Structure 1
């Protein structure tokens, strides 16, 4: 079985997006099934629901702190337009409010920056298990 995943990384810091991309690629290379990934990036969080549709995104990693909006606002927009989309929130601020609000609003996970590779890998495996029952 070959799996192709379109992943959208939303973070205002390019280094953070590239680090997350690198961890995800490493995880993909370790899988026992053939997997490929196409990555899209956003630094602002604007027009994310439209981009999800236009770019056929399967999985979103979404920062809470963005320059033009908040990740929670974007999460709400995603849930309205794409209720089954897997969205993993990422933040340098792991306050109980951030985590609780994210989960209440429909996030499928929460990863604290700096990234723990194991948590990123767990989120990708959760997506694969949910979508492909592997």
Structure 2
């Protein structure tokens, strides 16, 4: 497996963790009532707390970004241009997402946008390596 594909797998796992965390934070899944709510149909979810709202938005952004990242990485792999620049862009993207989630959860607005931008730079590096 190439380094780029390895980071696709890592990012898929990170995306799943972000979605799971958002769900558990929203339902308060660490409590008995929250666990009951989480395994049910979720018809009557409570209003999200500020942290739950940020976790939900961060997970949605992570999912949306993963779609773009995976498409670029898989296109590079299929085209046979999965070289060091593509792998470096993939690493930058992944590590930016690792930092992005806790920064977003903490509500640090300007830093969140800066870290998101670093991830976009990683994607741009990947794309530029293919052109």
Q: Greater RCO between the two (CA within 8 Å, min separation 6)?
A: 2
More strand per residue: 1 or 2? Answer: 1
Return the TM-score normalized by structure 1: 0.30
Q: Which of the two has higher C-alpha Rg? A: 2
- TM-score (norm: length of structure 2): 0.31
